[in-house]
C-alpha cells in the first residue's frame, strides 16, 4: 500500500532536460515529439541548439567540445559554457537552465551528430 506521508516527504521530480534526453535516447533521433519537448523546455535556446546540430556545428576535439556560433566559437565542458548567456543569464542551481550551446552538445551526442576532430582545439584556436 502506498503511504502518502512518505510521498509528501519524498517528492519525485524529473527535470525537463532529463525527460527529453530520455526520449531522445530511446528514439535515437530528433523526432517531432522530442523537438517539441526541447522547445517547450528551452524556447529559443532549444531552437538555436537544434539548428546548430542540424548544421553540424558541434565539434569535438581532443581537449574540448566546441559549438560554432554565428560570431564566435564556444567551449562547452560538462554543461558549462564560456558564452555570455551562461555567465549572466542562467540560474546555475536550476538543472533545466542551459545555454543553447550546452543543449546542442547534449543533442548532438545523443544522435551521433558530433563532428570529431583528432586534434587539440587549443592549437586550432591559435589560427582563428
- What is the per-residue pLDDT across 99-112, written as a single tens digit (0 to 9) for each? 999 999 999 999 99
CA gap 38, 34 in Å, rounded:
6
Grid coordinates standing for 95? 538543472
pLDDT at residue 2, rounded to an integer: 33
pLDDT band at 7 (very low <50, low <70, confident <90, very high): very low
Q: Are strands 58-60 and 115-116 parallel, antiparallel or unpaired?
A: parallel
| pTM, rounded to two decimals | 0.85
Q: Quickly count: other Cβ atoms within 10 Å of residue 90's Cβ.
A: 18
- Stretch 83-105: mean pLDDT, rounded? 93
Cα→Cα distances 17→5, 22, 41, 60, Å: 28, 8, 7, 22
- Stretch 65-93: mean pLDDT, rounded? 93
* Burial track 22-40 (b if 16+ CB lie within 10 A, e otherwise): eebeeeeebeeebbebbbe
CA gap 87, 97 in Å, rounded:
12
Q: Quickly count: other Cβ atoms within 10 Å of residue 113's Cβ.
A: 18
Cα angle: 103, vertex 28, 50; to 5 degrees = 30
pLDDT at residue 125, rounded to an integer: 72
Amino acid at each position: 500500500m502506498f503511504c502518502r506521508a512518505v510521498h509528501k516527504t519524498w517528492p519525485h521530480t524529473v527535470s525537463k532536460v532529463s525527460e527529453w534526453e530520455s526520449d531522445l535516447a530511446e528514439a535515437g533521433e530528433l523526432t517531432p515529439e522530442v523537438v517539441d519537448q526541447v522547445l517547450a523546455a528551452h524556447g529559443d535556446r532549444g531552437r538555436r541548439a537544434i539548428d546548430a546540430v542540424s548544421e553540424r556545428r558541434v565539434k569535438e576535439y581532443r581537449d574540448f567540445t566546441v559549438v560554432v556560433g554565428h560570431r564566435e566559437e564556444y567551449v562547452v565542458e560538462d554543461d558549462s559554457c564560456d558564452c555570455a548567456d551562461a555567465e549572466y543569464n542562467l540560474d546555475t542551481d536550476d538543472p533545466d537552465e542551459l545555454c543553447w550551446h550546452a543543449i546542442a552538445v547534449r543533442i548532438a551526442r545523443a544522435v551521433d551528430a558530433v563532428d570529431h576532430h583528432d586534434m587539440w582545439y587549443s592549437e586550432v584556436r591559435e589560427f582563428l
